[in-house]
Amino acid sequence: MPANSRGQFPTFGSQTGFNPSRLSSDSTIVTESATPSQSDGQESQSPMDTLNAPPYQPLRYQLPGALNALSSSPDGEYVVVAGREVLKVLHVTTQEVTEYINLRTGSNLSLNYSSNDVKWGNNATKNKIATAATNGAIIIWDLNKSGRKTDRVISEHTRAVNRVCFQPNSGFTLLSASQDGNIKAWDLRDPKSLAKYSYEGKSESVRDVQFNPLHTYEFAAGFETGTIQKWDMRNLKPIYDRKVSAHNGPCLTVDWHSDGRTLASGGRDRTIKVWDMNSDSRKPQYTIRTMASVSRIQWRPGYDNEIASCALLSDNGLHVWDVRRPNIAKYTFDEHSTTPTGFQWLSSDTIISCAKDRYFMRHDIVGAYQPIELLRKNGIGWNIHGDLVFSIDKSAGDSFVDEISTPGVTSPANRKQRRSRTSTGDEMPLQYIPPQTCGIAHLPLFDYETFSVFAQNYVTSGEDIKMACETNAKIAWSMQRFRAAQTWKIIQLLFADMDDEASSSVNASDNGYVKALEDNTVNGTDAASETDSETSLRQGGNDYKDHDDLSSSSSESNEISSMSQNQEIVNDLLSYYTEQSDVQMCVTLFLVIQQHVHVGLEQLEDWFTSYIDLLHRFKLWTSATDIINACPIEAVRTINMNATTINIACNNCFKLVLSTARASWACDKCHKLLNPCSLCHQTVRGLYVWCQGCNHGGHLEHMRDWFSNNSQCPTGCGHTCTLDMSTRSHS
């Protein structure tokens, strides 16, 4: 709102703060409690007009440049917005937003006016505004001064200041967090503009700092390294009270809960974490995973379990989360065209925000949409054991159990009881009860126990069909799978008899030929008799040959007919088990009689891949490997040829080592060598041999030389190790 004709602005009183009633008569400000009829003479809306009103739209105000931060006055009627090219005070009501003061006036503008952050004072400093500049300066503005509002410029930081914060109770103390890694406290009553205290976190740059609203002598800071430090200003030693490794990456923002013990943090690792700072626990009470890096967070007033956040990049929404349901936001405001850079709750239902799109907005919770309402609440799913789980919607509100089980975040009614309890850090977090009915039903459509027994005991080799069918039939009968047992008996009769007939035919041919030779043998000595005998023998041989040709032709005809009939029967069996989705039976049948049946490659690949997938689901790795190796399809057999990665663990602290891609030969946690050779005590950078009994090992050559003359472990642990000589010779 512009100044009046005399250039006067409302002053900050000592009792009620920023007082709009002191404006001159020709200036108009509509207070938040005024109705439209009281402010502009319009008639109030009827219930029908309200019902037919368009969807709620937030109040918008466009500024001449991108915005980096905002802060409201103690009474919530005025808001200061800051950016690299903007520094203005706005007057905000329920109906409109107007400009009140432009602090970037004058011709000698410098980097002091390029702001990263801005905060409005409170109590004794409710007439002052602090801005953090990109050049490391802190500028204090006095809105009660006439002319230029600059009160003082503080220049002790050597790099950009990321955040400033006023102490809640008095407002005289100002904290600043800088890229130079220092936190400084300033007493604004001291005209010398020198830091009263300086806190060095012995870390990289400080990204955020916030006073504890209940214990105002405490503050918390978030660092570039992902750590959080809690400091006590009463402690004369320059050391933090507590340090928590909170994030995998920079910690960009922190905010205290109104209970004075719970702290929330957000980082570049796309998480919001809630910590009990009075507990020794190193684990967060809650973890919310977001879709983008978290740049700002703030607890919602009056709602102890809800917190708002905005992203650093790629997400244009403001999200309100319930920490007890961390998987999806409770409310979302999606009005900005770019990522919001700052926001603040004016009340429990009103939130203001700014962004790089140059817009300042005032939102109401009724204008937010609820992402949970966009999701289906009915679902159904199976597990590998034949259990069916389902959820159906019901007309009941969200509820939570164990309302007093967590000391950090509770309702106001339970706060007194919570404080009376001792803090152990082991309390269970609140449990969310969705407005749904869920159930699990066991449907006996798949017997996983029988499946496992068959997979581990079925004979899949076709070398001896009779034996394989007999064994498989007994296994199926023992598991009360009588149809499967009958199938194996049928296969045994069909193909075992075929093999017997073929063997009998060969034996019969040999016997007949020998018998013909015996019947035509002569014992005479004269040439005529020998000639006749030879002629008779040759003739007898020819007669048998003709007889043998007829027998062979008839046998081959019968065999072809029998094979054709068997193929039809097998095809019917395979079709039946395919329709029953019994891929285990299909694969096993095929492997046993694969020399006598013909199945399409596409059908075979479907059977084998489905069966192998089931075996992997049940973790039957050995059976799956046997099936893969026995499969006639090359594409299936190559499954076992893929590279396998085994992550090692530190042999000192047992931490899993995941940084093998960087050739890390030392543990990141205990900084000791990873599994050195038990003989030379050097890091093994090649083939590593170890005993699975005592977990000691070393270089292949060293272990080979040692175990050629010794049987016990070279470390002296007393374990008798065995080195396979065949493996050693191949090595």
Between helix 482-491 and helix 465-478 the angle, nearest 10°, is 170
What does the pLDDT read at residue 646? Answer: 65
Residue 292 has pLDDT above 70, yes or no: yes
Q: Do 150 and 114 contact (CB within 8 A), yes or no?
A: no
Residues 310-317, mean pLDDT to the nearest whole number: 92
Residues 148-154, mean pLDDT to the nearest whole number: 88
Q: How far is CA 562 from CA 210, 460, 501, 595, 664, in A?
A: 89, 24, 11, 15, 66
Residue-wise pLDDT tens digits, 644-696: 666 677 767 767 776 544 445 677 777 777 778 888 888 887 788 888 778 78
Q: Is the pTM of this model over 0.85?
A: no
DSSP letter at 599? -
Grade residue 248 by pLDDT with cuts at 50, 70 and 90. Answer: very high
- Which positions ≥6 away from 144 have C-beta within 8 Å? 11, 12, 127
Taking CB atoms within 8 Å and a gap of at least 24, the contacts of 219-224 are 219/165, 219/175, 219/183, 220/254, 220/256, 220/263, 220/277, 221/177, 221/183, 221/254, 222/246, 222/250, 222/251, 222/252, 222/253, 222/254, 222/265, 222/267, 223/250, 223/251, 224/250, 224/251
DSSP letter at 690? E
Cα atoms in the 13 Å half-sphere on the side-chain side of 549: 5
What does the pLDDT read at residue 447? Answer: 85
44-48, 50-54, 204-208, 373-377: which is most confident: 204-208
Residue 118 has pLDDT above 70, yes or no: yes
Question: CA 388, CA 392: separation in Å to the nearest integer?
Answer: 13
Q: How far is CA 83 from CA 80, 113, 354, 373, in A?
A: 10, 8, 10, 36
What does the pLDDT read at residue 707? Answer: 87
- What is residue 171's three-state secondary structure? coil
Residue 466 has pLDDT above 80, yes or no: yes
What does the pLDDT read at residue 275? Answer: 95
Q: Which of 231-240, 371-380, 533-542 has the lowest mean pLDDT?
A: 533-542
Q: Which of 32-41, 144-153, 479-488, 590-599 has the lowest mean pLDDT?
A: 32-41
What does the pLDDT read at residue 427? Answer: 52
